[in-house]
């Protein structure tokens, strides 16, 4: 495949104007409205009143108005702010794809809410937690994180190389010219 075809495929995956379509939740500051019985399980499935939300479009809509502040998750509108429950992280990232464009590696992960994330400064991969409990995450937007699923992690490890960081050997991947650690070797 040609470099321009790879770049076109990458652009299509990312939906170039997706971020521009997101509501401006960072500008909204409504008063707290209370708790709503929406729960996001660790596997990324959204529940309302104990039942899975079957319509993916509705989950995607809710995820677009999700914020994280003061260690709590909320769904916000210009006039309402409802607290929800989240087990771990509100998103799960999977299906990594990589391509080389002009000698530069690019990696894209897809979330459970159909967002394509180009690993880089806007969507860095990092290790979250302490010691043996550390897990790989990727920033989705603002301060919202997605857990990199176990199968996606293993796919990334297949693409990984070793680098010395602060005297320790890290296994990680390159995307957009930056190295992202997946853990210490």
With contact defined as beta carbons under 8 Å apart, do 170 and 183 qualify?
yes
Please compute the mean of the pLDDT values over residues 104-118 and round it to a whole number. Answer: 94
Q: Supply the mean pLDDT for the chain.
A: 89
What integer is the mean pLDDT of 66-89?
Answer: 97
pLDDT of residue 62: 96
Q: What is the pLDDT of residue 132?
A: 80
pLDDT score at 1: 43
| Distance, CA of 12 to CA of 33 (rounded, Å) | 38
Partners of residue 87 on adjacent β-strands = none
Residue 132 phi, psi (nearest 5): -70, -15
Provide mean pLDDT across the span 2-6. 48
Q: Each residue of 155-185: pLDDT tens digit? A: 999 999 999 999 999 999 999 999 999 988 7
Please state the rounded mean pLDDT for residues 9-17: 52
User: What residue segments make up the domains of the chain, in order of their start?
Assistant: 3-86, 91-184
Rounded to two decimals, the pTM is 0.86
Kindly report the CATH number that applies to the domain delimited by 91-184.
Answer: 2.30.270.10
For the chain, the straight-line distance linking the first and the last C-alpha, in angstroms and rounded, comes to 33
Going from the C-alpha of 121 to that of each of 76, 91, 94, 184, the distances in angstroms are 26, 19, 19, 21
Q: Does domain 3-86 correspond to CATH entry 3.90.660.20?
A: no
Candidate ranges 1-5, 12-16, 38-42; pick with highest mean pLDDT: 38-42
Q: Give the pLDDT of residue 3.
A: 46
């Amino acid at each position: 495949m040609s470099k321009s075809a790879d770049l076109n495929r990458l652009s299509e995956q990312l939906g170039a104007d997706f971020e521009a379509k997101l509501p401006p939740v960072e500008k909204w500051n409504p008063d707290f409205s209370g708790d709503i019985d929406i729960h996001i399980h660790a596997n990324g499935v959204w529940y309302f009143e104990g039942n899975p939300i079957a319509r993916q479009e509705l989950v995607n809509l809710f995820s677009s108005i999700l914020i994280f502040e003061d260690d709590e998750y909320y769904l916000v509108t210009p006039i309402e702010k409802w607290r929800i429950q989240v087990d771990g992280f509100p998103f799960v990232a999977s299906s990594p794809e990589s391509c080389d464009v002009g000698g530069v590696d690019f990696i894209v992960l897809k979330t459970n809410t159909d967002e394509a994330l180009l690993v880089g400064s806007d969507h860095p991969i990092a290790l979250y937690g302490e010691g043996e409990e550390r897990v790989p995450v990727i920033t989705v937007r603002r301060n919202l994180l997605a857990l990199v699923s176990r199968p996606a992690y293993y796919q990334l490890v297949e693409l990984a190389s070793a680098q010395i960081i602060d005297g320790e050997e890290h296994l990680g991947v390159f995307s957009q010219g930056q190295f992202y650690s997946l853990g210490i070797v």
